[in-house]
Amino acid sequence: MSLILTEIKNKVGIITLNSEKTLNSLSLEMIEELKAVLEYWKISGEVACIFLQGAGEKALCAGGDVRKLHDAIIEQQSIDGTKVPQQCFDFFSKEYQVDYLIHTYPKPVIVWGHGIVMGGGIGIMVGASHRIVTERSKLAMPEITIGLYPDVGGTWFLNKMPSAYGIYLGLTGARLDGADCKFLGLADYYISSSSKVALLDALDHAQWNGNNHQTVSAILENISKETSTPESQAQIHHSFIAQFEGANSLEEFREILIQHPDKDEWINTGIKSFETGSPSSAHIIFRQLKEGENLSLEEVFQSELNLSCQCCIHPDFAEGVRALLVDKDLSPKWQPATLHDITKEWVDSYFTPLWAHEKHPLKNLGKKD
């Protein structure tokens, strides 16, 4: 079974992530297939526009296949736990190349962000030129709960959000619906899922006359008029989020979060994820977003590759995946166990470069061949 299904109709290259059983979670093989298709269609005269979707109705993509990464880490630990497992390096480096390719793609890329879109799924969606959410879209970057951090360009797109939404979402993994995504700049169009057939039909009859981005925009503007965007919970909580703008340390962030007097379900859910998540992740996420505010897109993916590979040789990532997906006891034993146990030296170790600058595996991102 092919993990990526493709077809071309009226110069529209349709890509379907085809692993419905795993909610279209990204494996290394799927990433490699996707990269090959995108690279080929980038220069093909047969394709004017890309339409990317997930198989089935439940998810565009529920993230990366972290269970396989966990297994690779455990195997590597039995040999030499100080070395990054090759499978993990291959996965992250190729995933970020695909994400960067979508961010910089010369042709319109439409992403149908229907159903669950998490982690690596957001990485695929966020860089597209035309990002669609529906009434069933559920997005999140819940990496703090598995000892990781919001990668796939999170340093870039979380820092581009208004107010302190980026740092809040990164540290709490808060769930977002389609209306939230429109408000926060993660999506461009809110369209009823029942309009998908009409959208594909419009693309099937489009005239590709050179200004293809404009052609796609006009189609989507027309179809999105039929659906009104509901109220955004994220927007409703703006005054709460604004309090975090002045947080200059993780301790200040936590104090504001815990001490807020008017807690509702939305806020309490965020508190729970923050409090039960990896203390190491909380510290590295705060530093990642603060120090990465002014990085270029290329520098973002370069820094994230280093941080992701460091997570593979630090204890919490494998432990978080074990607790959630392997043993499913939902009781991770974080090392160190609390926020107060984390030292500056421990956080620094996550950010220690694994490669000299001139030898960085992604040093050629953005450079002409």
CA atoms lying within 13 Å on the CB side of residue 197: 1
Residues labelled catalytic: 64, 120, 143, 151
- Nearest Cα residue to 208 out of 20, 357, 49, 42: 49
CB 63 within 8 A of CB 25: yes
Residue 232 CB neighbours (<10 A) = 18
- Angle, vertex CA 303, rays to CA 107 and CA 242, nearest 5: 85
Q: Which amino acid is at 182?
A: K
- Nearest Cα residue to 300 out of 360, 369, 244: 360
- Integer CA distances (angstroms), 91 to 29, 98, 229, in order: 9, 11, 36
Residue 353 CB neighbours (<10 A) = 12
CB 70 within 8 A of CB 77: no
DSSP-derived pairing of the beta strands 176-177 and 138-140: antiparallel
CB 63 within 8 A of CB 143: no
CB 332 within 8 A of CB 147: yes
Tokens matching residue 247: 């947080």
